[in-house]
A and B are shown apart, each in its own frame.
Chain A
Amino acid sequence: MKKWREHTYSFILLVVVLVLWEAIAFNIKMTFILPSPTDILMKLWELKKVLLLEHLPATLCIILIGLGISIILGVGLAISMNSSKIIEKAFYPLIIFSQMIPTIALAPIFILWFGYSIWSKVLVTVLITFFPITINTYDGLRAGSNDLKELLLTMGAKKKDVFLLVNVPSAMPHFFSGLKVAVTLSVIGAAIGEWLGAQAGLGYFSRRMMTQFDGAGVFAPIIVLSAMGIMLFLLVKWVENKTLMWRKSE
């Protein structure tokens, strides 16, 4: 119950904004530019089958494949950088630099490479999600206490033991922080990818509605997209809480 009460104020604010929105939209009367919240809800209901059964699975697929690749790539890179100074020196600056590249500007090229297939969208998603995972995991691996590592050495632990017993557990909370950021970004990444060229997906559908001047139709898939992002975030948070039980005692 307490958890709900914490959100009372943001809930009130949300209701106020929605009411204002409804009032303004009602007065402007230009649904194709500014649909009212009730218009959007009605559209959502009308399109529920197409959105949930056709376009949602397409986008979810991109997000899950993209995140999966990012996790494998990011964790692998973090472990390699942690284990070798040379790899760290070679990759770290480039990884930072890769974030200066405006991914959105590059995305049309991916369409040239991969066409309208799923992989152009997956690539966009990977490009913007691997960064938080890599950097956080890498920082986490280095966060392991030096004193603790030395204590393990005095017990006769090998390098591998120290890595598995100290570095990996110390990295877990950081990894989950990175993953939570990545999940949020992945929704944006998939949507951008679909805008540029796709045959299905929530981002694609929203853009198609734009060309038909269907304002409510633009917003409806975005609502579904946000809801999906929130669900994914909560899912990661749930797994995090299950994995890091000990943090509750702190």
Chain B
Amino acid sequence: MLMIKTVLHFDSVSFRYPKQEKGPLIYDSMKFTVREGEFVSILGPSGAGKSTLFRLITGLEQPTGGKILLNGEYFSNRLGHVGYMPQQDLLMPWRTIWENAALPLQIKGSKQADMRISVEELLKEFGLGGHEDRYPAELSGGMRQRVSFLRTILTGSQVLLLDEPFSALDAITRLSMQEWLLKQWEKRKKTILFITHDVNEALFLSERIFVLTDPPVSRMEDIPVPLDRPRTLKALDIPEIMVLKDRLIDQLRTKATT
């Protein structure tokens, strides 16, 4: 059997925000594993701690207890090891498109001239050719998200964390962005963790769905998506998936109300 590498492992991780010392735990000795090349969606009601999970993985927060392993290794400082794409595009309004995309390269100390060529090539590939020297305010929401995604790719990390990247987009743009993201994922062989509120989005994109309950969470429900690739939107209408969809929606709804 082929050995598949584990890229992310939570080993009994507990967490509460340091400011709320007496507050409730958000995670209570939680365990899960993500393997190389997977596409995992994280689904949960608002306030469940989805963004907190990403803050822990990136190293912006440190666990209160337990360990987080990246590629099987333990780092006390994980900053700079995973690519993180925030919910708002967070492009710098004072930088041009290519300068924004090149940000991680600049932080790692690349030379201006070397960056320009490689970034320009990628921008073309992302359908942003000819926009290199424009400013973010001149681009549409979908284009800005693509720049933000490219910036995440250019961190060079194997693991990409995407926090509701398409939630601000209209339904049509969102669909095309989802298809586009799948293409990029297949092509670049990255591992993606994807936070979303949208059950359809999770089913369409991912191989597994983690469902978060209200805190404190000690175990996320781990639901495999029984669909082959390449997927089409029609595939979401087969009975098996419809049942799964209803189940997920029910689960989210009861959790949001109780």
Could you tell me which A residues sit within 8 Å of B by CB distance?
Answer: 145, 147-148, 150-157, 161, 165-166, 169, 172, 244, 246, 249-250
- Enumerate B47-105 residues with CB–CB distance to A below 8 Å: 58-60, 79-84, 86, 88, 90, 92-96, 103-104
Chain B residue nearest to A168 (CB atoms) is B94
Residues of A within 8 A of B80 (CB): 154-157
Whether B233 is near chain A, meaning CB under 8 Å from some CB there, is no
Structural contact, B134 and A249, CB atoms closer than 8 A: yes
Whether B108 is near chain A, meaning CB under 8 Å from some CB there, is yes
Q: Given the interface contacts A147-B86, A147-B90, A172-B94, does A154 sit within 8 Å of B58 by beta carbon?
A: yes
Residues of A within 8 A of B93 (CB): 246, 250
Whether B29 is near chain A, meaning CB under 8 Å from some CB there, is no
- Enumerate B82-132 residues with CB–CB distance to A below 8 Å: 82-84, 86, 88, 90, 92-96, 103-104, 106-108
Structural contact, B108 and A156, CB atoms closer than 8 A: yes
Cβ contact of B60, chosen from A150, A157, A250, cutoff 8 A: A150
Q: With the chains together, A153 CA to B107 CA distance in Å?
A: 10
Q: Given the interface contacts A147-B86, A246-B135, A250-B137, does A155 sit within 8 Å of B92 by beta carbon?
A: no
A148-B90, A154-B82 are known; give 13 further A-B pairs, CB within 8 A. Answer: A147-B90, A150-B60, A154-B80, A154-B84, A155-B80, A155-B103, A157-B80, A246-B93, A246-B94, A246-B96, A246-B135, A249-B137, A250-B137
Secondary structure at chain A's binding surface: helix, strand, loop or mixed? Answer: helix
Residues of B within 8 A of A169 (CB): 92, 94-95
Could you tell me which B residues sit within 8 Å of A by CB distance?
Answer: 58-60, 79-84, 86, 88, 90, 92-96, 103-104, 106-108, 134-135, 137-138, 155
Cβ contact of B107, chosen from A147, A152, A244, cutoff 8 A: A152
Q: With the chains together, A157 CA to B138 CA distance in Å?
A: 27
Structural contact, B59 and A147, CB atoms closer than 8 A: no
Q: With the chains together, A246 CA to B137 CA distance in Å?
A: 9
Structural contact, B107 and A154, CB atoms closer than 8 A: no
Structural contact, A154 and B59, CB atoms closer than 8 A: yes
Residues of B within 8 A of A156 (CB): 79-81, 107-108
Cβ contact of A154, chosen from B60, B96, B108, cutoff 8 A: B60
